[in-house]
Amino acid sequence: MKKIWIVLGIIALIAIILYVAFKGTYNKMVEKDEAVTAAWAQVENVYQRRADLIPNLVNTVKGYAAHEQETLQSVVEARAKATSVTIDPSNLNATSIAQFQAAQDGLSSALSRLLVSVEQYPDLKANQNFLDLQAQLEGTENRIAVERQKFNETAREYNTYIRRFPQNIFASLFNFEKKAYFEAQSGAEKAPEVHF
């Protein structure tokens, strides 16, 4: 009878140890997954800030640069396209992030063309509203870079955690999948050529 109690005690002890290990690992994966979701929400937040600045920028430029109607229209269209691309944080794979990034890159390109065309209008460049909007836009672009970096770091921590042993077993059991990263634009590895 004493042997049965010892065996039952050992089985209970093993069960408790497995439960604690399982619970801790699962909860840590959930915590890291939520951190990735929060980082993604912050990325979307700063992109939304940029999108919110654009109508004011376009309206300010319209008053001075009536000849730039095509450029202004391309900015408005790129903004509409960028804000229409939404991604479910639980599905942050390479394809969805690339799609989101492509829409945002289109908007960045349109904004760059607009800011280059503004150089032809000295009165606009001296307008305080335009200068304030331009400064806010530059600050927002910096925030975007910072938040993308934070997202990549959070995704890396999550990916590293779920790929380690024994977490990889639990991750595959409960469908914790690897998250994708923001990547540099194609061609970014080449230095731009400067001609004088």
SS3 readout for the chain: CHHHHHHHHHHHHHHHHHHHHHHHHHHHHHHHHHHHHHHHHHHHHHHHHHHHHHHHHHHHHHHHCHHHHHHHHHHHHHHHHHHHCCCCHHHCCHHHHHHHHHHHHHHHHHHHHHHHHHCCCHHHHHCHHHHHHHHHHHHHHHHHHHHHHHHHHHHHHHHHHHHCCCHHHHHHHCCCCCCCCCCCCCCCCCCCCCCC
pLDDT bucket at 195, cuts 50 / 70 / 90: very low
pLDDT, tens digit, 9 for 90 and up, residues 138-189: 888 899 999 999 999 999 999 999 999 988 988 998 889 999 888 866 654 4
pLDDT bucket at 126, cuts 50 / 70 / 90: confident
* Mean pLDDT within 134-140: 86
In this structure, of 108-112, 119-123, 140-144, the range with the lowest mean pLDDT score is 119-123
Write down the domain spans for the chain. Answer: 50-173
pLDDT, tens digit, 9 for 90 and up, residues 18-71: 888 788 889 999 999 999 999 999 999 999 998 888 888 888 777 776 666 777
Q: What is the token pair recorded at 4? A: 């049965």
* Mean pLDDT within 103-123: 82
* Mean pLDDT within 10-22: 87
- What does the pLDDT read at residue 130? 79
pTM: 0.75
* Mean pLDDT within 64-90: 80
